[in-house]
Amino acid sequence: MKLGIVGLPNVGKSTLFNAITQAGAESANYPFCTIDPNVGVVSVPDERLTKLAEIYTSKKIVPTAIEFYDIAGLVKGASKGEGLGNKFLSHIREVEAIVHVVRCFEDTNVVHVDGNINPLRDIETINLELIFSDIEMLERRLQKSAKAAKTDKSISFEVEVIKKVLEVLESGKSARTLDMSDEEKAVVRSFNLLSSKPIIYVANVSEGEVASDGEGNEYVATVREFASTEDAEVVVISAQIEEEISQLEDDEKLEFLRDIGLEKSGLDKLIQASYKLLGLMSFLTAGPMESRAWTIKNGTKAPVAGGKIHSDIERGFIRAEVIAFEDLMAHGGNMTSAKEKGLVRLEGKEYIMKDGDVVLFRFNV
C-alpha cells in the first residue's frame, strides 16, 4: 500500500513523515525542503502475530507494511509549473491514496506560506491543483477519443464519461465526489486521475489539543465539514507529539501515550483510517518458520488471497483450511481442540476471506 503525504509548505508534513517512518527526511522551517519524494516503509502493528508466533514457535514475525511517500509542498499554480511544478504532481499519480496534512494550529514561530491559518483555503489550493492537472489531461483525452468515436462506436461511452467528469472538475469539485456506475468507475480508473484518489485529511493540531481529538478547534471542525462532502477520512494528529513518540522505546511509548490521555498513536490512527478508506483487511499465516500478515481487499476470494503468497497457490488452489483468530485463541491456540469443536473449516474457491482468518492453503501444480 502506497500513501502519498501532501500539503502546503510548513504545515508539518515532513515532520509527520519523519516521525512515523523515522526515515530522517530533511525538515526545516522554510518551503521546499523536500525536493524528491522520500519513501519510508512502516510496519503495520498487529498483536495477533505475536500470539501466533508463540503458539507456532515461529522463528520470525513478518507484519504487512505501508509505504509513505513524502511529496514536496505544493503551492498555487503547481499545475502550471509554479513552485516545484508538475514533477511533483506526477509523484502523486504513483500512490494509491493521498494523505493531505492540513495545518490546524497557531504558531508565530512557524511561518505559513499564505501568511495566516485557513484550512479550507489550504485544502482548496491543493485540490484545485490536482483538478487543474486532471482537466488538462482529460481535455487531451477527449479530443483524441471524440475523433476515434466517429469510426468506433464502442468509444462513445468513454467520451460521455469524460464529459461527465470534466463538468464536475470545471465546477471546482474533485472527481472523487462524482456519483458513478460501476462501468463509469472502470473507465475513470483507467485515467488514473489525481482528484479521484481516495484521501485522508490529517488535521495537524498543537500538542495540547490531540487528546480531545481536536474537539473545540474551529480549524478541525472546518476540515471535518469539508471532508464530509467528499466522503473522506479525517485523522487528528500532532506532528510534534508523533516526533516525540518516535524517539521512545516500545514500552516507553505506551506509558507516554497514557500520560497524555491517548489510547493509540497518530500513526496507528492513520493506518486504521487507511485500511478503512481503501477497503483493506489482513489474513494470517503461521508456522515454525514465520507468522505473517497479508493485506487484501475486502471481498477477496480464497484463491486470490493465496495468490498474494505465491501465484502457484492461486493457480493450483484446492481448498483453504481456515479458522478465525478469535476462535483459535479461545482454545488456547490448540488447533486439535479447535478442530474437535468444528471451528476449523475447509473452504473452497468461492470462500470470501475475513479479517483475522488464520489460513493454510492446499494446492497442487
Domain ranges of the chain: 2-277, 299-363
What percent of the chain lies above the pLDDT cut of 90? Answer: 55
How far is residue 91's CA from residue 200's CA, in Å, rounded to a whole number?
17
The reply, when asked if residue 125 is annotated as ligand binding, is no
pLDDT value at residue 149: 86
- 94-149 residue pLDDT tens: 899 999 999 998 877 765 666 678 999 999 988 998 899 899 999 999 999 998 88
Q: Kindly state the percentage of the chain with pLDDT values over 70.
A: 89
Task: With cut-offs at 50, 70 and 90, classify the pLDDT of residue 34.
Answer: very low
Q: What is the pLDDT of residue 22?
A: 74
Q: Check whether 185 is labelled as a binding-site residue.
A: no
- Annotated binding-site residue? 15: yes
Sign of the Cα pseudo-torsion (132, 133, 136, 139, in order): negative
- Quick one: pLDDT at residue 65? 86
Residue 118 C-beta-side C-alpha neighbours within 13 Å: 9
**Whole-angstrom distance, CA of residue 43 vs CA of residue 129:** 31
Q: Is the pLDDT of residue 246 over 70?
A: yes
Handedness of CA 189, 195, 228, 112 (dihedral sign): positive
Confidence of residue 75 (pLDDT cuts 50, 70, 90): low
pLDDT, position 77:
57
Residue 67: C-alpha distances to residues 1, 20, 266, 269, 331 (Å): 6, 11, 16, 16, 36
Q: Give per-residue pLDDT as tens, 58-68.
A: 999 999 888 88
Q: Per residue in 286-328, pLDDT tens? A: 999 999 999 999 999 999 999 999 999 999 999 999 999 999 9
Q: Which fold has domain 299-363?
A: Ubiquitin-like (UB roll) (3.10.20)
In this prediction, residue 83 carries a pLDDT of 46
Q: What is the pTM of this model?
A: 0.83
Distance of CA 130 to the CA centre of its chain: 18
User: With contact defined as beta carbons under 8 Å apart, do 174 and 143 qualify?
Assistant: no
- Phi and psi torsions of 25, nearest 5°: -65, 145
**Cα–Cα distance between 85 and 73 in angstroms, integer?**
10
Residue 31 pLDDT exceeds 50 = no
10 labelled ligand-binding: yes
| DSSP SS3 for 84 | coil
Q: For residue 4, give the nearest of 104, 65, 86, 72 by alpha carbon.
A: 72
Summary mean pLDDT of the chain: 87
Please, are residues 204 and 11 in contact by the beta-carbon 8 Å criterion?
A: yes
Q: Rounded to whole angstroms, how far apart are CA atoms 237 and 251?
A: 21
pLDDT of residue 99: 93
Q: Is 159 annotated among the ligand-binding residues?
A: no
Domains 2-277 and 299-363 share a fold: no
Which single residue is written with the C-alpha cell 505506551? 254
Q: Which residue has the higher pLDDT, 22 or 181?
A: 181
At 281, the pLDDT band (50, 70, 90 cuts) reads very high
DSSP structural state of residue 249 = -
C-alpha cell at 90: 506526477
349 carries a ligand binding annotation: no
201-223 pLDDT, tens per residue?
Answer: 999 999 889 888 889 999 999 99
CATH ID of 2-277, from 3.30.1360.120, 3.40.50.300, 3.40.50.1970, 3.40.50.12780: 3.40.50.300
Alpha carbons 132 and 159: distance in angstroms, whole number: 19
Residue 283 has pLDDT above 80, yes or no: yes
Report pLDDT for 330. Answer: 92
